[in-house]
Amino acid sequence: MGPGRMIKLIYSKFRYSVDGIHETWLTEPSFRQWLALVLLSDICALLFLTDGLRIMIIIGSGFLLLASELINTAVEAAVDLVTKEEHVLAKKAKDAASATTLLTFLTLVSSWLLVLFYQ
Ligand SMILES: Nc1ncnc2c1ncn2[C@@H]1O[C@H](COP(=O)(O)OP(=O)(O)OP(=O)(O)O)[C@@H](O)[C@H]1O
């Protein structure tokens, strides 16, 4: 594959990703709430932490949380596309996707506890 085609491919992948974030931002209030929390967390990290590694842990945990909310949104959309009917597998898929957000939120909380209290 030539460099021109490679750049085109990277650009189109990037554009689709931006579309995904934009659409999720417009349609999912929970994504906007998590984004506000993550921005607050990142600002606090940049203002009050001095160690670069600790700042990176907090910012990385925030990205994980937002990524899991995007995955959660993707699973919800895919399940709703397949069926609007009550189904045990639909529940399983949506609950598991929702659990990723809970776990990454706990990752952010425990990262803050570790960064603040572990020397
Ligand atoms: N088709 C379905 N069959 C069975 N249970 C479902 C179905 N759709 C949703 N549920 C249940 O309802 C819950 C909420 O689903 P919903 O699609 O409303 O997500 P949501 O409220 O938008 O979630 P979030 O706040 O994570 O975005 C799911 O986690 C699941 O337990």
CB atoms near residue 54 (< 10 Å): 18
In this structure, which amino acid lies at residue 100? T
Query: Does ligand 1 come within 6 angstroms of the Cβ of 76?
Result: yes
Under 8 Å between Cβ of 51 and 72: no
The verdict on the CB of residue 81 being under 6 Å from ligand 1 is no
Q: Compute, in angstroms, the gap from residue 79 CA to the centroid of ligand 1.
A: 9
Q: Does residue 20 sit within a domain?
A: no
Residue 14 lies in a domain: no
Written as tens digits, the pLDDT of the chain (119 aa) is 788 989 988 888 899 999 999 999 999 999 999 999 999 999 999 999 999 999 999 999 999 999 999 999 999 999 999 999 999 999 999 999 999 999 999 999 999 999 999 87
State the residue range of the domain holding 66: 29-117
**Residue 23 has what pLDDT?**
97
7 found inside a domain: no
| CATH label of the domain that carries residue 35 | 1.10.287.3610
Residue 53 forms part of a structural domain: yes
Specify the number of domains making up the chain: 1
| Structure token digits, residue 15 | 């554009």
**Stated pTM of the model:** 0.90
Asked if ipTM goes beyond 0.95, one says no
